[in-house]
Amino acid sequence: MNDLLTTKPAGPMIAPSILAADFAHLADDAAASLEAGADLLHVDIMDGHFVPNLSMGPALCGSLHKALPEAYLDVHLMVSDPGAYFKPFAEAGADLLSFHIEVCDSEQHARDLCGVIEDLGVKTGIVINPPTDVERVLPVVDAFDLVLVMSVNPGFGGQAFIPDVLEKGRRIKPLLQDHQRLEIDGGIGPETAHLAIDAGFDVLVAGSAIYGKPRDQWKEIVRILRG
């Protein structure tokens, strides 16, 4: 299993969100963003229930893994019943599976779901939405390889960055050990990346900031995002 996220990075890692890529040329876009210097690929899974949108399923993830077997696939499950998706996405090549604290009815529930992912040999992530009090996630961050703070309300790409969530990062960061990562997703671009880095985030998810620009600009955009 790829251990990219458990190796302490020299600087922030950049994770292009493939939701913003051209799906007709997905493998090419994904490969080009990695060649431009990005570190991993962020894969958003939406069920039309937890968030008001649908995206991709395990088959697409599997096809991407087949096309780019060395790419680290950071799979973000924006779904109401994440446990139903763990095995299909693990078998499709996910390197990390993250789910939302909002779907957990207790701290133990979150830890139990984390254990299911670990048993599949996949890295684990827990996610918190902008309106959710950070106190919901603080008691369980020790259990996960990655904590993802959403800086937009999930469901659609291209939304404006919510700066108030940076305080969540500042609260979470001191609780993490060297093998754990702190990720931010939503509205990250050249104008906001430095704010996230200053708040302690070391994995930056960027969608339209990369894929929404011409390919010949991606290398420079990744360089700027890295700070």
Domain boundaries, given as residue ranges, for the chain:
13-226
From the list 39, 47, 74, 185, the catalytic residue is 185
Asked whether the whole model's pTM tops 0.85, one would answer yes
How many whole angstroms separate alpha carbon 121 and alpha carbon 139? 23
* pLDDT score of 40: 97
* pLDDT score of 7: 73
From the list 44, 74, 95, 202, the catalytic residue is 44
Backbone angles phi and psi of 205, in degrees to 5: -90, 130
How many whole angstroms separate alpha carbon 218 and alpha carbon 227? 14
How do 41-46 and 203-206 pair as beta strands?
A: unpaired
**Helices 26-35 and 58-67 meet at what angle, rounded to 10?**
50
DSSP E strand stretches across 34-95: 41-46, 73-78
Q: Classify residue 143 as exposed, middle or buried by CB count within 10 Å of its CB (0-12, 13-18, 19+).
A: middle
Domain 13-226 in CATH 1.10.1740.110? The answer is: no
Name the region of 121 (left: φ>0; alpha: ψ -120 to 50; beta: rest).
left
Q: Where are the alpha helices (DSSP H) in the chain?
A: 26-35, 58-67, 86-91, 107-119, 166-172, 193-198, 208-211, 218-226
How many whole angstroms separate alpha carbon 212 and alpha carbon 172? 31
* pLDDT score of 124: 98
Is 44 a known active-site residue?
Answer: yes
Is 47 a known active-site residue?
Answer: no
pLDDT, averaged in runs of 10, over the chain (227 residues)? 70 95 96 98 91 87 96 96 97 98 97 98 97 97 98 78 96 96 96 97 96 97 95
* pLDDT score of 37: 96
How many whole angstroms separate alpha carbon 46 and alpha carbon 86? 14
How many whole angstroms separate alpha carbon 122 and alpha carbon 119? 8
